[in-house]
Every structure is written in structure tokens, then in C-alpha cells.
Amino acid sequence: MTDRPSRATFHDRLDEMVSVLRDEIMTGKRQAGEFLASERLLGKQFRISNKSVRDALATLQAEGLIEKIPKVGSRVASLPDEKAIRIRFAYHSTIVNEADLAHLISMFHLQYPQIRVQSLPLMSRQYDQISQILESDVIDVLTVNLDDFNKLVEEGIVDLFETLSPNQDIYPYLTRGFVHEDELKAQPFIFSPVMLCYNKAHFQQTRVPEPDSSWTWDDLLEHAKALAIPGERFGFYTHLQSRNRWPVFFLQSGMKFPKSGGQVDWVDSPWLEAARICRRLLTEQGLVPIFDREEDAEELFKQEKASVIMTTYFRLNDLKKVGFEYDVAPLPYSGNSKTMLLTIGLAQMSSSKYKEASRTFLKFLQSEAAQLTIRTRTLSIPALKPAAEWSGKETMYRPSRFQMHREIVPTFGKMRDLDIPNGQSLLLLQECKYYWSGLYSEEVLVRKLQQLVESYYGSRDNQTIEDAD
């Protein structure tokens, strides 16, 4: 009798059926006019009763995604008539999971049936050419992170975005990141600091104290050795090459990119110490380069092959189905207690032919209903303060310190705080990778860092001369 599924389990399976079918319809995997399987087969597939199947189908029908054909079955509804307004929404492909985007778009369609959203998922490599995409006039609304926004500012094309009115219920420190020349060019949508995530059982088994805000990177290294089991699991793992991971160590150093091409005392510089810490995290942990994707950290954690990882609230969505307890903690520090703030914003294109419809969609995504949906259905943090700080009955496992982000706001930093010019961050990372891998000595790295600064200011001076000519 104890193995009998609970009512909550059946409810989760019903939600899963709705979510899976909705996603398949929204992404075009199921075409208009296509019939769904019979209620009996759907019940067998999702392990729910016929009544629950009918409830799930009723939800999809109410959202306008399917239609019931008497004595025949349920089929995917046809697209709206030709009079419906269609806006094009470009977003990073990971947002689907991080914000339960398919569900949000379904909610929008239900509330505004006269506007249809055409989804245009973009991969990371496409965002690298975001300026060309924006200038092609094929987008009405898009998601943009702080790094991409700053890149567009440096390229002088951020005016492709409409100027927006600030939402007073959005955390102010998020809004400030998208302000250019006193104009708000994107509305914050979801956000996350970079943080630690750890397996509670591993700490209990090894009697290692759980991490807190007092930890330094030396503390982490010491405890990671006790947590590690050779040939079985890492004590700590991070994908250091990620553009949201390695800059954290340089943020904590407190040093900025030199303001001129003159000589810098790199030997005693905070940046060199930051590079040393990164190297120790790799070499003393014995981390192998075969794990070359950012998502490998969460994958190792799910398999309990890493006790502690460096991650984000966004990435916690990959851990929804783990069968063990985990929690989160602030990053260790060196010099300054700093972490990287990641913010995803929503921008409206000035060139949109359907500005009112685009504005309606953008405002919906910022509404309390949409933001609260993100809070209750994902592990991401919505930008709307009342939604982010909502407290009520949870529908999924959350770490006990989930609201930690509220306490560490003073530690939030951004990539632009380092004053690294556009294009130089990748060059800096490349030089550090040679050092971290043991192919550069410390002396060589010092020389390379100086050359990096001199080459930048030299090329900039040459460009100034050419412009004058």
C-alpha cells in the first residue's frame, strides 16, 4: 500500500502531460490538424487516469491549442485567421526551460487571442552576431542579457531598441543595468547571481561544515579535498572557461583594465592573484578538460559525481528531478566578496511594424501573473520583486536557502565593472587558459598581459589617427 502513487504524484503527471503536449504544439512538433492519441493511450503514456487525461485536454482546449471533434478525438487547432497580428519573439534557447516560456506564451494567447507570438529561438553562437540580426528587421521583441546589451552600446546600435518606462516593482539594481544615456532600453525579466550549489548528504557523510559567506577559496579547496573520492567524484567542479565564471575571480580582485598602455606592475597585481586562484582550483582538484560544456557541471552534480558546483538559479532548473537534497550558498571570496549578476532583459525593436502588440506582449511578460508563474513553476528568479519574494505553498523541491539572493545584493557585480573593452575579454581568457593549463609560466603570463594592454591602446591610437586623416 505504501507504493501507491499519491494524489500529488498524479497531479504532477497531469501537469507533465499538459506541459509536454503544449510544448510540442508551440514548437511545431505537432502540426495544425494533427490528431492526438486516444485518451486511453495518453493515459497509458503519462500514467494517469482517463479522467485526468480529460482534465488535461480541457486545459489545452481552453488555451486554444486543441479542439475536440465529437466521436473522433482531439486535434491540434488551426492557426488563427489571417487577421490576427503576429509578432516575432527572438530569445535565447535556454529561456524555454529557465522561464517555462511555452507556458507563458500559452497564457498570453489565452488572454490576447488577437495576437499570436511567433517563436524564434536563438543559439549562443547566433547571439554572437546579434547586431546583424537586429539590423535585419525580422524581430519585434527579444531577450538580451547584460553582456549583449553592453556590446550593442559599444557598437552604437542600442538605439534600435524602443525607450521604455521603468517598472517601479522591478528591483532597481536590475533596471539600472539596461539604462543608456538616461534611457531604459530593456526591461529586466529574470536574473541570477553566480553561486555555489552543494549536495547536503556528501557534507553530512564527510562531516565537512556546509558553506557559508565566511568561506574563502582556500576554505573551498581544503574542504573539497575531504569531499572528493578519487575515481568516484570531484569535491568541487566548475566550467571555468564560461564567460560568467572566470570573470568572477577578477571582479573579486577589485582591479580594472588599465586606463592606458603604460607599464603595469602585473607581478604584484590583484589580477595575477585571481589567475593563480583559478589555476589552483583546476590543478589541485585534478579537473580534466574532457568536460568542456558549461552544462557539464550540473550533469556531474545530478549524477552525484561532484559535491559542490559553481552555478546559477537558471541552471538549478536542470536539477528539478534529482533524488537528493541540495542547497545553495554564496561564492567564496578572495579580496572582495563579489559575484557576477546575470540579468535577462526584454527589448522592443523600434522597427517593429506592430509596436502596440509588441508592447502588450512585453508588458504581459513583466506582469505579476507571468512573473509569479516563473516563481512557482521554475527555479529562476523573476525580476518583479513581489513575485520573487512570494511565499506560499511550493509545488517543487527548493533549496532551503533559495531566498539567499536577497541577502547578497551588495556583492552583485557586472562584467562591465572590470572596464575590459569589447573584444579584449576573450583575448584575456585565452592567455589565462595557457597559464592554467601549464603551457605558460607566471612570467610569460605577466608579459602577455602587458602586451594585451599595449596592443589594445596601440590599435586604438592608430584608429584615432586614421579617423583624423
Cβ count within 10 A of residue 291: 17
pLDDT for residue 465 is more than 60: no
Tens digit of each residue's pLDDT (9 = 90 or more) over 38-73: 999 999 999 999 999 999 999 999 888 899 999 899
pLDDT tens profile 384-434? 999 999 999 998 999 999 999 999 999 999 999 999 987 899 999 999 999
Which span out of 259-268, 335-344, 415-424 was modeled with the highest average pLDDT? 335-344
Q: Is the pTM of this model over 0.75?
A: yes
Query: What pLDDT score was predicted for residue 207?
Result: 97
Domains and CATH numbers, the chain: 7-76 (1.10.10.10), 85-190+343-395 (3.40.190.10)
- Among 227, 382, 402, which residue's Cα sits nearest to residue 326? 402
DSSP 267-300: GG-HHHHHHHHHHHHHHTTT--TT--STTHHHHH
The CA distance from 75 to 72, in Å, is 9
pLDDT in tens, 143-171: 999 999 998 998 899 999 999 999 999 99
Rounded Cα–Cα distance for residues 350 and 134 (Å): 10
Helix-, strand-, coil-residue percentages of the chain, each rounded to 5: 45, 20, 35
pLDDT confidence of residue 80: 58
Reported as a pLDDT band with limits 50, 70 and 90, residue 464 is very low
Is residue 427 within 8 Å of 452, Cβ to Cβ?
yes
Burial label, 224 (beta-carbon count in 10 A; 0-12, 13-18, 19+): buried
Quote the CA–CA distance of 100 and 117 in Å, as a whole number.
Answer: 15
Could you tell me the end-to-end alpha-carbon distance of the chain, in angstroms, rounded to an integer? 86
Q: Is the pLDDT of residue 2 over 80?
A: no
Of the candidates 35, 139, 100, which has an alpha carbon nearest to the alpha carbon of residue 395?
100
